[in-house]
Amino acid sequence: MATAAAAQTLPFRRIPIGSAYAANTVNATVFRLNSLTTFRGMQYTTYFAPDGNVVVAARPEDGDQWDIAPLPGVMGSLKDAHNGSVLGVSPDGHLHLAYNHHVHPMHYRRTEKPGDIRSFGPERPMTGRTETQVTYPQFVTAPDGSLLFFYRDGWSGAGRLCMNRYDTARGEWEVVGHAFIDGGDVCNPYWWRPVFGPDGALHLAWCWRKPGDARFNYDLCYARSHDTGRTWVRSDGTPQTLPVTPENAEVIDPVPMDFNLLNQCSSAVDSHGRPHFTHYHNDADGVPQYVHLWHNGERWERQFVSTRRREFSVAGAGTLKLPISRPEMAVLPNDDLWIVTRDDEAGADRIRLYRGRAADDYQEWTPFDVPLGVDLGEWEPTYDLARFARTGVLSLFVIPCRQADNEGVSDFGPQEAAVVEVALPQV
């Protein structure tokens, strides 16, 4: 549980990018993977401009000036916060871009020249298979540098998780597993951010949702792959039958429906290969709290991270205006964990972080604040995973934004997007 002490303040560096659309959270959802990524000394980002134009920008990793490149004629569907743009970089230096996906056909482009943000070609199929009803596109980089692509086929309450891999030698995508986690016509999986461990194992958690809104999310499940997604095992190492279904999945936290479990949160793996997951759901008093769930090498353990006081509900169709963000997570070389959030109780003008120490098995969580001095609205955290892995710098994509309930759009005007960099203490 979080300590009752006042939050400590962390210093930060803010690097402005440019003006961006902010009347909902389309530029600021936690599942934008990647909103930022670094490759060969350059940091790249993508977002929607105020007029909806898809933008890709780049800067030297330690520089302050961005080269901003709107893609001519490429426009975002701004009225749905699911439709955010995401970037990946393959080992050959090509940038890959996906955008405008909420049960839509695949919208995917690739640069014609490695590292050249002004050389994106026309839309193209990825594999040409299972690409008619795509949602939640995510680019994930494997330890060997290869680029993976995760997405949902189907819709809320009836969908499945698909995975592709980019073959650098051929310059083409290949299917790894389509519908390797499958809810059939009765539910769908919502997965936490995929993450690799130090041994190259791919760890994945997800919840299921029955038809309906987020009240019908339930059960956190787990599987692990030692061959980059082709075969899977359970936490005890026994083979996992494919496709994974509600009937054969390993349940690691039996969360009931109507418990304010919100889908699509975050993951980390420590230096011992132990998986950690973070999300939120109700405590015994019905108050949503941030949660840390991890495997200690013998069994799964759960701790409440926050000490929030106010109730709220995730009931309602579409994206909602909620008082807290879904959490992100980062792990340091000493295995200390940092959970990154936005919580109105902590203050609308700050990023709230919690640190759990490996030395005490994450029993106590200390709050820290990054006081930005601007109301963040309904912003959710995403950060540059590649930069953090190499430097320990938490490089966050930040934009104040206002989300209206039920996939609504507010009257909030354009805001300045920025990178906020925080060097996490390692003592």
Confidence tier at 427 by pLDDT (50, 70, 90): confident
Residue 313 lies in a domain: yes
Residue 3 lies in a domain: no
Residue 417 lies in a domain: yes
Q: Report the pLDDT averaged over residues 209-225.
A: 97
Q: For the chain, how many structural domains are there in total?
A: 1
Q: What is the CATH number of the domain that holds 187?
A: 2.130.10.10
> What residue type is 174 in one-letter code?
E
pLDDT at 80: 97
pLDDT tens for residues 150-170?
A: 999 999 999 999 999 999 999
* 64 and 13 Cβ atoms separated by less than 8 Å: no
Confidence tier at 352 by pLDDT (50, 70, 90): very high
Residue 164 lies in a domain: yes
Residue 1 lies in a domain: no
Residue 401 lies in a domain: yes
pLDDT over 70 at 265, yes or no:
yes
Q: Report the pLDDT averaged over residues 211-219.
A: 96
> Which residue segment(s) compose the domain that 86 sits in?
8-423
Contacts 24+ apart (CB under 8 A), 207-212: 207/255, 207/261, 207/263, 208/183, 208/246, 208/249, 209/156, 209/157, 209/183, 209/263, 210/157, 210/186, 210/257, 211/156, 211/157, 211/158, 211/186, 211/187, 212/156, 212/157
Q: Report the pLDDT averaged over residues 115-123.
A: 98
pLDDT over 60 at 267, yes or no:
yes
pLDDT over 70 at 142, yes or no:
yes
pLDDT at 3: 57
* Residue 378 per-residue DSSP state: T
Q: What is the chain's Cα-based Rg?
A: 20
Of 258, 313, 275, the closest CA to residue 194 belongs to 275
pLDDT at 195: 98
Length of the chain: 427
* Residue 130 per-residue DSSP state: S
Percent of the chain with pLDDT over 70: 99
Q: Report the pLDDT averaged over residues 199-227.
A: 97
pLDDT over 90 at 4, yes or no:
no
pLDDT over 70 at 358, yes or no:
yes
Identify which has the larger pLDDT, 426 or 44.
44
Strands of the 42-48 sheet, one edge to the other: 36-39, 42-48, 53-60, 67-75
Residue 275 lies in a domain: yes
pLDDT at 221: 98
φ/ψ of residue 368, rounded to 5: -135, 150
pLDDT over 90 at 209, yes or no:
yes
Positive or negative: CA dihedral 121, 113, 150, 174? positive
CA 150/CA 210 separation, integer angstroms: 21
